[in-house]
Structure 1
Amino acid sequence: MALLKIKFSFQRRVRLAQGLWLLSWAVMFSGLLVFSMGVFLKTELLRRSEVMHTTDIHVVPNLLIVVGLASMGINLCAGRICQDTMDVARFARWKNHFIPFFTVSLLVTSMLLVAMVLSYALQPNLEESLKIGLKNGIRFYKDTDTPGRCFQKQTIDRLQLEFKCCGNNNFRDWFEVQWINSRYLDFSNPEIRDRVRSNVDGRYLMDAVPFSCCNPGSPRPCIQENIRDNSAHINYDYQSETLNLFSQGCHQALVSYYMGLLNNSGPAVLSVFMAQMSVLLSLRYLQTAMSGVKDQENMEVETIGYLLEKGVKETFEEMKENLKKILSLNGGQVADEAAEATEGDAKASAS
C-alpha cells in the first residue's frame, strides 16, 4: 500500500509544478547562502591558523562549501524537471534518473544536518585548539628571524588590536615569557645580564607587555613597562589602573567570536535543510503523480501521488533484498575471476 497518497487533478499538478519551481529557485539561493557561510568561516579560520593548534574545526566550513554547491545543482535540476512537466515526452526522459537523483539529493541534504551537529560538537575542540595555539603564539612572539615563525609577532599584535585583548588569559601571561628577541637586548648592561642569569632557563623576563596590549581608551599614556611597580610612575596604582591595558584575554575573545559564528550558522543550516526537504518531498509527489499520465492526450486525467510505493517496512525490506543481491553478484563475480586466475596458473605450471 502506497504511503501518504494524494489525488492530483490536472490543475493541481500544474499548481504543484509552478510552486515547486519557485521554491526550488528560492532554495537554490539558500544553497548559495550556505556556500557563502562556509567560505566566510573557512577564511576566518585560515586568517588565524597560526594561533590554532589543530584544524579539526575546518571540517565544518568544508562541508558547508560542498553541500552549498551541491544544493544549488540539485535545485537547478528540480527547476528543470518542473519545466518539463507540461511535456510528457520530455518528462519521460527523467524516468531513469529519478532514483539516482533522489539518492544523491537525500545524501547531500543529510550532510546539512551533519554540518550543523558538528558545528556544535567540535566547539570544545576549537576552544582547546585556541588555548594551546595562543600559548605557543605568545611563546614564539620574539622569533621574528626564525623560519616559519617570522610573522608570529605581526599575527599576535594584529589579533590583540583587533579583538582588544591581551595575552592568552590576561596580560600577566606576558610576564612569564621572554617576548623580546635577544638580538635587541644590550648584554653589556649589568641589569639585563643579571636578570638573564637569575632565571633558571636563561630568559629575560620583565613586568612588561607589547604595545598592542595598550588600551587607547585610557586617559593617560600607556604604561607597558614596570606595570606592577607603583613607584616607577607618577600617580599610578597597579590595582586601580583598569583602563591602561586590555583586560580581556585573547582566548576568551576568539572563543566568543568563533562560537558566535558557529552558533549562528546552526539555525541557518537547519532552515535550509527543512526547505531542501520540502523541495524533495514535493518533487517526489510530482514525479509519482506524473507517472499516471501516459501521453499528451490524457494530460487532464486524475492521478495519484505518493511518497513510497509501499509501506516503510516493505520498502526497507525490498531495499535490503536488493542490496543482498548486488553484494552476492559482486561476490560471485570475484569468485569466478579468482577461479579463472587459479585455472590459468595451473595450466601455465603444467605447460
Structure 2
Amino acid sequence: MAPVLPLVLPLRPRIRLAQGLWLLSWILVLAGGLILLCSGHLLVQLLHLRTFLAPSCPFTALPQVALAAGAVALGTGLVGAGASRASLDAAQYPPWRRVLGPMLAAGTAGGGGLLVLALGLALALPGSLDTGLEEGLGAAMAHYKDTEVPGHCHAKRLLDELQLRHHCCGRHGYKDWFGVQWVSSRYLDPNDQDVVDFSPRPLSPDTLTPCPSLCSRIQSNVEGLYLIDGVPFSCCSPHSPRPCLQNQLSDPHAHPLFDPRQPNLNLWAQGCHGVLLGHLQGLASTLGSMLAVTFLLQTLVLLGLRYLQTALEGLGGVIDGEGEAQGYLFPGGLRDMLKTAWLQGEVAQRPAPGEAPPEEAPAKEDLPEA
C-alpha cells in the first residue's frame, strides 16, 4: 500500500527540518509553560472566589484540564528538541530511534486530545459563569449577617473583601442590599417595637415624596427579615470627595446635598456579578487563545518529527546519508503505523545478535582426592 502524504527530503532539507524542529520545539516548551502559568493563575482565582460560585458550576474543570494539557505540551516540546538535536548526530540518534515512534503515538493521542478538550472547555464553559455567579453571590449576600453560624461565619469578611478589591457593590448594584437582611441579628434589639413589627410602605429609591419617620427602614419584619435602605461600608468608594452615604438612601430629605436621581458618587456603581464575570471570562479567553496557539505548535512539531523519523528510517538513522529520503505520515494506513511502531518497540527491546553476551561455561565440580 502506498504511503500517505509522502514527501521527498534531500540532504539539505533534512538538516533544515531538524534545525527548524529544534527551534519550534523550544517555542512549544515556552507555550506549554505559559499555559501552566495561566491555568494555575485561573485556578488560584477560582479557589479565592469559590464562595461566590455555585457548587454545580462546571467552570472549575477548565484550569484543571488546561494544567494537564500544558504539562503534556511542555513534555512534547522537550522530547522534540532532544530528538531533533540528536538526529543531527549519528552517534546520539540510535536511542531516540527506538522510542520515538511510541512517543509520537502517545503525544498525538494524549497531548492532542487534552489540548482539544481544554480548548473546547475554554469555548463552552464561560457561558456557565453567568448562572454560577448569580446563585453564588445571592447565597453569599443572604449569609452576610450569619457571622456566628458555623459554615457561614466568614461570608461577611469575604464579601467585604470582594467589594473592596473589585470596586463593586451588591450583585447587580447597591440596591440589591435593600432586599436582604445584612445587619446581624446580634445587633438588633428584639424588644424594640420598631424592629419587631414596624412595616411602613415600600419606598421607591427614585421617589421625591416625604417619607414618614424611621424611613431608613423600607420593609422591616418582612418574612422575619430586618430590611433597611442602606449598604455595608465596603460599598463605599474611598475616592469620593465627601463622606460616604450608607443609610437612608431612599429618603430624598435625609441628605440635602444628595440627589437620588443622579449617580451616587459615594458607592461603587458596578455590581460584583458583572465585574467577576468580565474578569473570569477574560482569563478564560486568554487561556483559550494560548491553547489554540499551543495546539498549532504541537501539531507542527509532531508532524515534523514524524517526517524526520520516517526519512531517517530509510537512511538507517543517518541524517547525512547519501541519496534522497522519503518521509511520510503513514506507511499504508493508521493500522499499519500502529503495528509498525509496536514491532519496532519489540525489536528495540531484543539484544542484537552481535551484542548477545557469551554463555558462561559451567563451573567444574571439585573431584574428591583419592
Superposed, 1:133-148 pairs within 5 Å as: 133-148=136-151
State the secondary structure of the residue aligned to 1:308: coil
| Distance of 2:317 and 2:240 partners within structure 1 | 80
| Distance of 2:30 and 2:11 partners within structure 1 | 29
Please tell me whether the aligned partners of residues 93 and 317 of structure 2 are also in contact (alpha carbons under 8 angstroms). no
| Residue in structure 2 matching 1:249, options 271, 274, 277 | 271
| Distance of 1:133 and 1:303 partners within structure 2 | 61
| Distance of 2:175 and 2:222 partners within structure 1 | 19
Cα shift at 1:206: 0.7
Instruction: Give the structure 1 partner of residue 121 of structure 2.
Output: 118
| Residue in structure 2 matching 1:306, options 328, 340, 351 | 328
Cα shift at 1:241: 4.4
State the secondary structure of the residue aligned to 1:72: helix
Please tell me whether the aligned partners of residues 11 and 320 of structure 2 are also in contact (alpha carbons under 8 angstroms). no
Cα shift at 1:21: 1.1
State the one-letter code of the partner of 2:299: M
Distance 1:230 1:164, change over 3 A: same
| Distance of 1:186 and 1:103 partners within structure 2 | 72
State the one-letter code of the partner of 1:133: G
- 2:68 aligned with 1:46, yes or no? no
Please tell me whether the aligned partners of residues 56 and 122 of structure 1 are also in contact (alpha carbons under 8 angstroms). yes
Cα shift at 1:228: 0.3
Instruction: Give the structure 2 partner of residue 192 of structure 1.
Output: 195
Instruction: Give the structure 2 partner of residue 182 of structure 1.
Output: 185
Instruction: Give the structure 2 partner of residue 330 of structure 1.
Output: none
Superposed, 1:6-155 pairs within 5 Å as: 6-54=7-55, 55-88=57-90, 90-106=92-108, 107-155=110-158
Distance 1:51 1:295, change over 3 A: closer
- 2:257 aligned with 1:235, yes or no? yes
Instruction: Give the structure 1 partner of residue 206 of structure 2.
Output: none
Cα shift at 1:109: 2.3
Structure 1 or 2: more helix by fraction: 1
- Deviates most, 281-290 or 142-151: 142-151
Distance 1:132 1:296, change over 3 A: closer
| Residue in structure 1 matching 2:223, options 197, 201, 213 | 201
Please tell me whether the aligned partners of residues 88 and 293 of structure 1 are also in contact (alpha carbons under 8 angstroms). no
Distance 1:296 1:21, change over 3 A: closer
Cα shift at 1:94: 3.2
Distance 1:187 1:279, change over 3 A: same
Instruction: Give the structure 1 partner of residue 313 of structure 2.
Output: 291
Residues 120-154 of structure 1: per-residue CA shift (max 9 Å, x gap): 21122111111000000000011111222121111
TM-score (norm 1): 0.84
- 2:302 aligned with 1:280, yes or no? yes
Please tell me whether the aligned partners of residues 195 and 204 of structure 1 are also in contact (alpha carbons under 8 angstroms). no
Please tell me whether the aligned partners of residues 88 and 294 of structure 1 are also in contact (alpha carbons under 8 angstroms). no
**Contiguous gaps of at least 5 residues in structure 1:** 323-351
Instruction: Give the structure 1 partner of residue 290 of structure 2.
Output: 268
State the secondary structure of the residue aligned to 2:87: helix
Instruction: Give the structure 2 partner of residue 345 of structure 1.
Output: none
Cα shift at 1:45: 0.8
Instruction: Give the structure 1 partner of residue 203 of structure 2.
Output: none
Please tell me whether the aligned partners of residues 68 and 114 of structure 2 are also in contact (alpha carbons under 8 angstroms). no
| Distance of 2:232 and 2:322 partners within structure 1 | 78
Distance 1:204 1:224, change over 3 A: same
| Distance of 1:174 and 1:242 partners within structure 2 | 15
Larger radius of gyration: 2
Q: Give % identity.
A: 36
